[in-house]
Amino acid sequence: MAKLTVSDLDLKGKKVLMRVDFNVPIKDGVIGNDNRIVAALPTIKYVSEHGGKAILLSHLGRIKKEEDKPGLSMRPVAERLSNLLNKPVTFVPTTEGKQLEDAIDGLNDGDVLVMENTRYEDVKNGENVKRESGNDPELGKYWASLGDVFVNDAFGTAHRSHASNVGIASNMGQTAAGFLMEKEIKFIGGAVDNPEHPFVAILGGAKVSDKIGVIDNLLAKADKILIGGGMTYTFYAAKGMKIGNSLVEKDKIDLAKEILDKAGDKLVLPTDSVVAEKFDNDAAHKTVDGDIPDGYMALDIGPKSIAEFEDVLKSAKTVVWNGPMGVFEMSNYAEGTLEIGKFLGTLTEAKTIVGGGDSTAAVQQLGVADKLSHISTGGGASLEYLEGKTLPGIAAISDK
Ligand code: ADP
Ligand code: MG
């Protein structure tokens, strides 16, 4: 069933609690990259322009002891938000109590308030009480009491049951998705639950063990699964091929055999690889067919595999990509990831979806992101979504 979204709500004069993902890289109070703040702007602006009083909550980093707090204050984030919105933003340096409640009471329609890092609640009086990340029922109830409606736009934490997402939602009459969350549900949820066929999944990255859940879930739904990246060579080993010094998970070879048996010709492995003498961009390297020679490790898929993958992809209507095709961080082994990314950009009739932390970094770094339909904002959350798991943060959003 479709989920309630922020555009379904009557916001005028309402105190709108909003869970956003402001978990930006920060060092000595300086924000490294404000992509996540920028990504949250459409929903914040919408609420403000429709007369809501926006009360923003987010976590920032991990807080395990009192000393972690000063460096992870939300104050610089509130300042950056104010610059980006080009209007004043109230920052409240606490997560509960009179100061916060008074500040909320003082808001006018359209105002924006940011409260302190929700994970400050994880440590109280020096004790690691995990009220936020352990979803303390009293905390969710208290935060819910501060607003009239709840908007959850933080997909990146949707796979966690925390007080600031699930806790608030379970004490609220209505929880709506923000625009970012709505897009994640539409694209990733849509691909997993109701894909347009042919549906092709491209799975790569380092390890089979990280992706077992995704392979299992997508085997039942996809028409083809293209395998690349480091996990390829555990499958090679399972087929009795030579793998040289390539990445391999010996304890997963039997599992890889089972997957190969079950998948039949649905699973497509690379037929050639770029191999190097060392895990080093400057190492001697070459392209080989099939077996990986002794003394070499495979670090990218080869040109023949790229062409074969493109041949499968060209008729696809839905493509989900998780995990790079090679060690894209090194330019000599980035070709596979780059070419597949560029090719996806030409598939204008298909929904092309990228999920996963490194995969997202790869398409952004290689400059192919803006040609794709959807780049997920959540690494861990997108993986669990692709595994077919119910994400508690999404489950807690009201149905339309
Ligand atoms: P994601 O975060 O998108 O889910 P992963 O974390 O599973 O992706 O995998 C990303 C990592 O896999 C990258 O750091 C990349 O260098 C590495 N990788 C890809 N191919 C290989 C390979 N052939 N050998 C070793 N590492 C690889
Ligand atoms: Mg990763």
Cα R_g (the chain), whole angstroms: 23
In three-state secondary structure terms, 142 is helix
Which atom of ligand 1 sits closest to the CA of residue 322?
Answer: 3
Which of 69, 151, 153 lies closest to 116, judged by CA?
A: 69
Counting ligand 1 atoms within 8 A of each CB, the residue from 231, 305, 337, 358 with the most, and so the one to mutate, is 358
How far apart are alpha carbons 321 and 268 in whole angstroms?
14
Query: Is the distance from the beta carbon of residue 230 to the nearest atom of ligand 1 less than 6 Å?
Result: yes
**330 alpha carbon to ligand 2 midpoint, in Å?**
16
Active site residues per annotation: 36, 207, 357, 380
As annotated, the residues of the chain forming the CATH 3.40.50.1260 domain(s) are 6-180, 187-386
Residue 1 has pLDDT above 80, yes or no: no
Residue 168 has pLDDT above 90, yes or no: yes
Q: Helices H, strands E: what count in the chain?
A: 15, 19
Confidence of residue 167 (pLDDT cuts 50, 70, 90): very high
**Which of 209-213, 317-321, 344-348 has the weakest average pLDDT?**
209-213
The string of pLDDT tens digits covering residues 79-126 is: 999 999 999 999 999 999 999 999 999 999 999 999 999 999 999 999
The string of pLDDT tens digits covering residues 259-299 is: 999 999 999 999 999 999 999 999 999 999 999 999 999 99
Residue identified by tokens 């702007």 is 41
Confidence of residue 357 (pLDDT cuts 50, 70, 90): confident
Dihedral angle computed from the Cα positions of residues 301, 304, 307 and 310, in that order, rounded to the nearest 10 degrees: -40
**215 alpha carbon to ligand 2 midpoint, in Å?**
16
Confidence of residue 377 (pLDDT cuts 50, 70, 90): confident
The predicted pLDDT at position 366 comes to 86
Residue 51 has pLDDT above 80, yes or no: yes
How far apart are alpha carbons 221 and 210 in whole angstroms?
19
Residue identified by tokens 């993902």 is 21
- The CATH architecture annotation of domain 187-386 reads 3-Layer(aba) Sandwich (3.40)
Task: Say yes or no: domain 6-180 is CATH 3.40.366.10.
Answer: no
CA–CA distances in Å: residue 43 to residues 18, 39, 73, 104, 159:
9, 9, 23, 19, 21
